[in-house]
């Protein structure tokens, strides 16, 4: 992107962050802060539409400025958007493409500062219709945080930083369709269809969640199974399904899942929800749900025994036979074969003095 | 003429004998050997062992126990064969117009199917299987003298006889070892062993005859005297020898593979 003329005139940086420090965005859960950007090289494309809709809290940490600005007059402005340092109208009105989040006195940046936002404050995207930024749009995009130092409040920025960028994608997968059920012994195999676009999204960091419930509305498996939880603003079951009904690990491979540990002949309902890398969940529709009933099945050995097969398994069958359905045997053949083999082995070992042999075509004498 | 009549030899028979004699003379003639020497290096490392990599179809004749009254294996796994992969290691301990060796085989047999449901349908959720580790102690004779002396006839017929020991198991839908009950309610476990014996014959093609220079390099660099591709007919009589309650896991099958003499 070309640097606007006005911005180019103010590229001289009179300040810098404390050495080794960069702006960091933290996810706030209660009193716990989790850094989303511990490494400046990490791409933060982790924001889906639900995080925006749900107004999840985040904290932006800005390091102290150097040299110490305590004696300076002016402000530090925090903007979010595109080319927010361009105050000219060359690229249109700045307030149409950027939003000013906070302003604080420059002198306060003698120490690091924390600013708390909700996700919908900074997840701003340009609307395709009026080209103005709006919150929580579905279209994928990238958001940049701008930290601008304006000494004397003259609109010229003596310091600016735009290294913190966020990716945003609010486009949810279409979701699983044509969910099929196949019953097994204490298990249900699910398979479904997805669109090509979904397949691309899901293979790029997304997956599927499989929810199970017995007819009596009992969770199939205990809560706390390892699974990706899709955050929802709504209480289940109004919005997404309650995570306590998650019954498999996240499915990240092909469009199929196997739910085991079920009760034979009991009726279950299943739901398959696709999600993309940004945890945008596919909408729940009638096609997401399916019913199934595990049933006993027969394997090869069961069938063999049912039809009168005598082999009961076990080892060391050189001893007399112990088959429950057949006559006991003495296992003489095994001993006879072993004895014969021992005799042959002894004879061959006794004769093991190898003469010189031809090993190559054309040689008169073989190797040693 | 009188002599020919006394020995009962017609002119035609004399001609055939002469042709055979001429052929044999040609095989071992100094000229043939000299021609071979011109093609190949005289270098040869000691040759003591054979390593075979073998694969082919395998279908245990479990249903033979029922004399046609039932076909549980066929019902479960269909009419096709499973897959066999194995290896054999021989120690060539005796030479007589070829090599006589003792060897051991270890293989793996696998056949899978979808479990049957009560209504005779297949469950795509439950995959079941039959697995086997066939092992054998073998005597192996390889008639390689002709291939070594006649560069344009690089075939080595061979035969094997062995004592077999097979560990087998059936898996149920969850991958565990299967269990089953007889019609009278006697329990059984789908894991056991079966003894038997085997006979095999085959024909090996000496690949290095196609490129004597490469053979010399392989021998010099890796100690591999010869490399073969082979086809083998294998008859395994794995019926527990004298036991009547053994799972019959033998088969008549063919195998193919690669063999390395070193």
Residue A241's pLDDT is 66
What dihedral do alpha carbons B245, B249, B252, B254 form, nearest 10°?
A: -170
- Chain B segment 7-26 residues within 8 A of A by beta carbon are none
Residue B1's pLDDT is 35
Residue B27's pLDDT is 46
On chain B, the residues whose CB falls within 8 A of the CB of A309 are 62, 65-66, 72, 180, 182, 188, 247
Judge contact between A208 and A202, C-beta under 8 A.
Answer: yes
- Closest partner CB to A313 (pick from B76, B126, B192): B192
Q: Which string of b and e fits B95-105 if b means at least 16 CB within 10 Å? A: beebbbbbbeb
Using the beta-carbon criterion (under 8 Å), do B170 and A324 form an inter-chain contact?
no
Substitution target in B105, B121, B245, B262 with the highest count of A β-carbons within 10 Å is B245
Size (chain A), residues: 368
Substitution target in B95, B125, B172, B228 with the highest count of A β-carbons within 10 Å is B125
Q: Is the confidence metric ipTM above 0.85 for this complex?
A: no
CB atoms within 10 A of CB A262: 22
Residue B253's pLDDT is 95
On chain B, the residues whose CB falls within 8 A of the CB of A329 are 242-245
- A317 and B CB contact within 8 Å: yes
Low-confidence ranges of chain A (pLDDT < 50): 1-11, 222-227, 235-238, 318-330, 364-368
> What is the layout of strands, in order, in the sheet containing A256-260?
A177-184, A187-193, A256-260
pTM over 0.80: no
Judge contact between A357 and B95, C-beta under 8 A.
Answer: yes
Judge contact between A34 and A81, C-beta under 8 A.
Answer: no
Distance from CA of B255 to the nearest CA of A (A): 24
Q: Terminal CA-to-CA distance of chain B, rounded, Å?
A: 53
- Closest partner CB to B149 (pick from A304, A358, A368): A358
Chain A to chain B Cβ contacts (< 8 Å): 273
- A366 and B CB contact within 8 Å: yes
Distance from CA of A323 to the nearest CA of B (A): 6
Residue B18's pLDDT is 56
Q: Which of B142, B166, B167 is nearest to B155 (CA)?
A: B142
Residue A237's pLDDT is 44
Substitution target in B126, B132, B144 with the highest count of A β-carbons within 10 Å is B126
- Chain B segment 176-195 residues within 8 A of A by beta carbon are 178-184, 186-195
A328-344 per-position pLDDT tens digit: 444 555 666 667 777 77
On chain B, the residues whose CB falls within 8 A of the CB of A346 are none
Residue B134's pLDDT is 96
- A41 and B CB contact within 8 Å: no
Using the beta-carbon criterion (under 8 Å), do B245 and A362 form an inter-chain contact?
no
Residue A357's pLDDT is 58
Which residues are CB-contacts of A163 (< 8 A; sequence separation ≥ 6)? A22, A23, A40
A282-304 per-position pLDDT tens digit: 877 777 788 899 988 999 999 99
Residue B242's pLDDT is 78
Low-confidence ranges of chain B (pLDDT < 70): 1-43
Q: Which of B124, B118, B228, B127 is nearest to B175 (CA)?
A: B127
């Amino acid at each position: 992107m070309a640097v606007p003329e006005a911005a180019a005139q103010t590229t001289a940086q009179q300040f810098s962050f404390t050495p080794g420090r960069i702006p960091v965005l933290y996810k706030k859960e209660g009193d716990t802060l989790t850094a989303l950007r511990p490494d400046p090289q990490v791409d933060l494309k982790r924001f889906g539409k639900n995080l925006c809709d749900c107004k999840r809290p985040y904290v932006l940490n800005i390091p102290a400025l150097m040299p110490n600005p305590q004696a300076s007059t002016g402000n530090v402005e925090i903007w979010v958007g595109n080319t927010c340092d361009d105050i000219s109208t060359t690229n249109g009105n700045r307030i149409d493409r950027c939003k000013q989040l906070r302003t604080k006195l420059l002198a306060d940046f003698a120490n690091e500062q924390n600013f708390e936002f909700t996700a919908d404050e900074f997840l701003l995207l340009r609307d395709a219709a009026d080209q103005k930024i709006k919150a929580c749009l579905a279209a994928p995009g990238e958001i940049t945080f701008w930290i601008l130092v304006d000494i004397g409040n003259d609109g010229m920025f003596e310091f600016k930083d735009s290294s913190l960028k966020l990716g945003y994608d609010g486009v949810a997968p279409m979701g699983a369709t044509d969910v099929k059920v196949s019953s097994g012994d204490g298990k249900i195999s699910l398979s479904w269809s997805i669109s090509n676009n979904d397949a691309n999204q899901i293979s790029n960091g997304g997956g599927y969640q499989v929810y199970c419930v017995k007819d009596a509305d009992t969770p199939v498996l205990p809560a706390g199974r390892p699974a990706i939880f899709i955050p929802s603003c709504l209480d289940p079951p109004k919005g997404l399904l309650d995570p306590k009904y998650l019954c498999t690990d996240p499915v990240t491979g092909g469009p199929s899942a196997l739910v085991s540990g079920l009760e034979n002949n009991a009726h279950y309902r299943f739901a398959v929800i696709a999600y993309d890398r940004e945890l945008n969940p596919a909408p729940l529709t009638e096609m997401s749900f399916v019913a199934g009933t595990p049933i006993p099945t027969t394997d090869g050995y069961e069938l063999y025994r049912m039809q009168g097969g005598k082999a009961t398994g076990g080892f060391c069958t050189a001893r007399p036979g112990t088959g429950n359905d057949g006559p006991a045997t003495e296992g003489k053949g095994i001993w006879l074969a072993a004895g014969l083999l021992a005799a042959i082995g002894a004879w061959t070992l006794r004769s093991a003095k190898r003469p010189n042999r031809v090993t190559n075509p054309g040689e008169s004498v073989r190797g040693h | 003429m009188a002599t020919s009549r006394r020995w009962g030899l017609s002119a035609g028979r004399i001609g055939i004998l002469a042709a055979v004699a001429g052929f044999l003379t040609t095989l071992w003639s100094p000229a043939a050997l000299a021609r071979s020497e011109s093609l190949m290096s005289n270098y040869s490392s000691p040759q003591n062992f054979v390593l075979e990599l073998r694969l082919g179809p395998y279908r245990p004749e479990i249903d033979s126990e029922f004399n046609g009254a039932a076909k549980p294996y066929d019902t479960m796994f269909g009419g096709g064969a499973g897959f066999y992969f194995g290896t054999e290691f021989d120690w060539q301990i005796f030479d007589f117009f070829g090599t006589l060796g003792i060897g051991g085989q270890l293989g793996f047999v696998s056949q899978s199917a979808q479990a049957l449901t009560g209504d005779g349908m297949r469950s795509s959720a439950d995959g079941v299987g039959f697995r086997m580790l066939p092992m054998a102690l073998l005597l192996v004779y390889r008639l390689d003298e002709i291939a070594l002396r006649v560069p344009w006839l690089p075939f080595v017929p061979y035969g094997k006889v062995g004592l077999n020991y097979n560990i087998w198991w059936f898996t149920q839908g969850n991958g565990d070892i299967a269990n089953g009950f007889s019609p009278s309610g006697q329990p059984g476990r789908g894991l056991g062993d079966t003894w038997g014996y085997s006979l095999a014959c085959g024909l090996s093609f000496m690949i290095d005859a196609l490129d004597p220079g490469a053979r010399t390099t392989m021998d010099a660099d890796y100690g591999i005297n010869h490399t073969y591709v082979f086809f083998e007919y294998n008859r395994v009589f794995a019926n527990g020898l004298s036991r009547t309650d053994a799972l019959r896991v033998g088969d008549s099958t063919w195998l193919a593979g690669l063999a390395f003499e070193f």
